[in-house]
Amino acid sequence: MRIAMIGTGYVGLVSGACFADFGHEVVCVDKDAKKIAALRAGEIPIFEPGLDELVARSVRERRLSFTTDLAPAVREAEVVFVAVGTPARRGDGHSDLTFVYEAAREIAAAAQGNMVLVTKSTVPVGTGDEIERIVRSARPDLNIAVVSNPEFLREGAAITDFKRPDRIVIGTDDALAGDVMREVYRPLYLNNPPLLFTGRRTAELIKYAANAFLATKITFINEIADLCEAVGANVQEVARGIGLDNRIGPKFLHAGPGYGGSCFPKDTLALIKTAQEADAPINIVETVISVNEARKQALAKRVSDACGGSLAGKIVAVLGLTFKPNTDDMRDAPSLVLVPALIDAGAIVRAHDPQGMEQAKRLLPGAHFSDGPYQAAEGADALVIVTEWDAYRALDLDRIRSGMKSPVVVDLRNIYRPDEMAAKGFRYFSIGRPAAGD
Ligand SMILES: NC(=O)c1ccc[n+]([C@@H]2O[C@H](COP(=O)([O-])OP(=O)(O)OC[C@H]3O[C@@H](n4cnc5c(N)ncnc54)[C@H](O)[C@@H]3O)[C@@H](O)[C@H]2O)c1
């Protein structure tokens, strides 16, 4: 099938490359000329494991191309996906749909025949209705079916998630559009993922409900971790003890610095806005948002407490800046709250991240950046692990210890064991676990 993907960011590029790998003919469109020029030159503008090879193969085999010119891409396509950004609107937390509606108008203007317009961006309930109104009034001569097909991929594992999804949600009441979507995803049938057909509004809401549930699960275990610290219990054992219950499940029960990233913060906010406006507030998600925010705000105090109550003049090494490993995405990362708070408290921050430093340098102007974890730790009064990159999981602890001025480690991801850290001579603070010997 001929597919146009409007928006070539994390979701558009991965989806476009995967569809092309399935054998579809895909044109990825983006307004960002630099991004398209880079892609045409064989450079991948984001870090996502395996994406470079996938893109190169489909480009070589002429199934995948890139352009800034939306109109010809849309004219040739049977299916047009919209994967543009839907950030939180400044000030009120509503989802900013400017890019989505603009794309819808451009698609309608360029369309030459009947087509299926699929919203892959995460959009609030009712957005599909508005897109339909826009395209109908612009092109009463055409039959453009508007379908919702939310995306559930995770950055860092995006290709596997896209090719082996837990489910594919397709929101449409239009039988013909449903058949087209079956055809788009037919190459996935081998893996047999459930194809869930729903109404369009339901599909839109499924995406928000999924993210809000996961954000709630993380926030729940984070509060249990705080309780563990207060009463001398171990949150990892509690998580295992409850996670083995099939009704609960083991995933998303890792206590840490609070959720961040490009989706959970903005999607939880947008969901509570939708709910408030519908006069059906979701109190639990409102609480999750404020608990998570407070947690991020309190991170610097954890470090300060570990350093004896003051950070003035102290050198703090920060390992990991991205919101999770295996991505270069810095959007709403906990480090964006922690690092400025450390600096405000008088600390000198030396940060390192395997992939996120280029973006981080723009976002954390007061921080210094090191070439590696050992360089960051050299002469430091404390070392804070913020993101659990593999590169930090097996550090040479003797080398770290001997380089540091004072052997304080604050592990916000629980990647080390309190007993091994104590044996190496560290004063080790983690999340929701008793210190060695307690
Ligand atoms: N990032 C994720 O992990 C993830 C996962 C699931 C769903 N989503 C959702 O997918 C959507 C896209 O997210 P993302 O992270 O890929 O965003 P992104 O910011 O990385 O990419 C969006 C791209 O769209 C382009 N764009 C905007 N308007 C355009 C237009 N009119 N024509 C052509 N290009 C245009 C931008 O230049 C940008 O490159 C969002 O709604 C997001 O919530 C994201």
**pLDDT band (50, 70, 90) for residue 299:** very high
Q: Which atom of ligand 1 is nearest to the CA of 329?
A: 1
Residue 271 has pLDDT above 90, yes or no: yes
Pairing of strands 382-385, 408-411: parallel
Mean pLDDT of 89-106: 95
- Which residue's alpha carbon is at the smallest distance from atom 44 of ligand 1? 11
Residue 212, classified by CB atoms within 10 Å of its CB into exposed (0-12), middle (13-18) or buried (19+), is: buried
Residue in 10, 96, 102 to alter for ligand 1 test, most ligand atoms within 8 A of Cβ: 10
Q: Are 339 and 372 in contact (CB under 8 A)?
A: no
Q: Are 87 and 96 in contact (CB under 8 A)?
A: yes
Give the burial string for 247-285 (b: 16+ CB within 10 Å, else e): eeeeebbbbbbbbbbbbbbbbbbbbbbbbeeeeeebeeb
Percent of the chain, pLDDT > 90? 97
CA of 32 to the centre of ligand 1 (A): 12
Percent of the chain, pLDDT > 70? 100
pLDDT digits (tens, 9 = 90+) for 110-159: 999 999 999 999 999 999 999 999 999 999 999 999 999 999 999 999 99
pLDDT value of position 436: 78
pLDDT digits (tens, 9 = 90+) for 305-323: 999 999 999 999 999 999 9
- The Cα 46–Cα 355 span in angstroms is 9
- Is there an atom of ligand 1 within 6 Å of 32 CB? yes
CA of 159 to the centre of ligand 1 (A): 16
- Is there an atom of ligand 1 within 6 Å of 12 CB? yes
Mean pLDDT of 154-176: 96
CA of 238 to the centre of ligand 1 (A): 37
CA of 165 to the centre of ligand 1 (A): 19
CA of 121 to the centre of ligand 1 (A): 7
- The Cα 223–Cα 241 span in angstroms is 16
Outline where DSSP puts E strands in 313-362: 315-319, 348-352
Please choose, from the candidates 288, 294, 384, the residue with its C-alpha nearest in 3D space to the C-alpha of residue 335.
Answer: 384
The vertex-279 CA angle with 278 and 282, nearest 5°, equals 95
- Is there an atom of ligand 1 within 6 Å of 30 CB? yes
pLDDT value of position 185: 96
Residue 438 has pLDDT above 90, yes or no: no
pLDDT value of position 274: 97
Q: Which atom of ligand 1 is nearest to the CA of 154?
A: 3
Mean pLDDT of 44-62: 97
Tokens of 332: 């709403």
- Is there an atom of ligand 1 within 6 Å of 99 CB? yes
Residue 267 has pLDDT above 90, yes or no: yes
CA of 431 to the centre of ligand 1 (A): 33
Which strands form 427-429's sheet, in the order they lie side by side?
368-369, 348-352, 315-319, 382-385, 408-411, 427-429
Mean pLDDT of 273-301: 98
- Is there an atom of ligand 1 within 6 Å of 144 CB? no
The vertex-205 CA angle with 200 and 210, nearest 5°, equals 135
Residues serving a catalytic function are 263
- Residue where the block lists tokens 């996120």: 356
Residue in 29, 30, 107, 168 to alter for ligand 1 test, most ligand atoms within 8 A of Cβ: 30
**pLDDT band (50, 70, 90) for residue 192:** confident
- Is there an atom of ligand 1 within 6 Å of 149 CB? no
Q: Which atom of ligand 1 is nearest to the CA of 266?
A: 43
Calculate the alpha carbon distances from 214 to 95, 228, 243, 249 in Å: 19, 21, 14, 12
**pLDDT band (50, 70, 90) for residue 104:** very high
- Residues with Cβ < 8 Å from 375, sequence gap 6 or more? 350, 352
- Which residue's alpha carbon is at the smallest distance from atom 11 of ligand 1? 121
Residue 351 has pLDDT above 90, yes or no: yes
pLDDT value of position 91: 85
- Is there an atom of ligand 1 within 6 Å of 153 CB? yes
Q: Got the DSSP string for 9-35? A: SHHHHHHHHHHHHHT-EEEEE-S-HHH
- Residues with Cβ < 8 Å from 221, sequence gap 6 or more? 235, 238, 239, 252, 253, 254, 255
pLDDT digits (tens, 9 = 90+) for 1-33: 999 999 999 999 999 999 999 999 999 999 999
**pLDDT band (50, 70, 90) for residue 88:** very high
362, containing H or E segment: helix 357-363
Calculate the alpha carbon distances from 338 to 36, 162, 203, 303, 318 in Å: 34, 32, 36, 9, 9
**pLDDT band (50, 70, 90) for residue 191:** confident
pLDDT value of position 329: 96
pLDDT value of position 322: 98
Residue 76 has pLDDT above 90, yes or no: yes
- Is there an atom of ligand 1 within 6 Å of 103 CB? yes
CA of 87 to the centre of ligand 1 (A): 9
Residue 378 has pLDDT above 90, yes or no: yes
Strand partners, 169: 196
Pairing of strands 348-352, 368-369: parallel
- Which residue's alpha carbon is at the smallest distance from atom 36 of ligand 1? 7
